[in-house]
Chain A
């Protein structure tokens, strides 16, 4: 009987992770304008909060969370990522967020143990 329930417990659920990331971004930088002196603190706060919420899910995964914050001033920014892993159980989720003065891109990768 146990085999039928393995889906939720041990897979990377993109929507769940996406919600975790959005909450972390909102609570760290929601409503703030780009400020050079605070950005370091914000990026750290976003990745740490995301990571601690992900580990609280208690799934058998290793996680990598990256966050990029860029000031809006017309410059172009392109990001790409490539992964060599097990397609059946590993996954990733990227959330793009912006306000009037900055862009924030957070990616979370989950690798099954």
Chain B
């Protein structure tokens, strides 16, 4: 059974470490940041040692007044699978990280 709060706190931690409040949106570095965030989050989740498959997605957007909407829909076993979303922002950018965990039936 997925316990969402325990999934969410490692992610929030990763985000605040990786993307410092003082760092501004930098086109050259964003690719590196999104890759680091998803990879570190995934590593962290796998270390929990639970029998789950994981999908981690991250979107970083520059703050410029544009509208951004995201939605997701899942077809799975609601008793064992779950999701967690963390929204983070600083002065120049918004970051949204989604984690999906699917139980593996052994």
Contacts and interface: CB of A to CB of B under 8 A. Distances in A.
B57 A76 contact: no
B18 interface: no
Interface of A: 34, 36, 39-40, 42-44, 46-48, 50-51, 54-55, 62-86, 90, 92, 107, 109, 111, 113
Nearest to A38: B69
Q: Which of A34, A43, A83 has the most CB of B within 10 A?
A: A83
Contacts of A85: 53-55, 102
A77 B55 contact: no
A73 B69 CA distance: 14
Contacts of B62: 75-77
A46 B73 CA distance: 10
A97 to B, nearest CB: 14
Nearest to B31: A78
A66 B66 contact: no
Contact of B72 (A55, A67, A76, A80): A67
Interface in B42-75: 42, 45-46, 53-75
A62 B41 contact: no
Given A40-B69, A70-B66, A77-B68, A63 B76 contact: yes
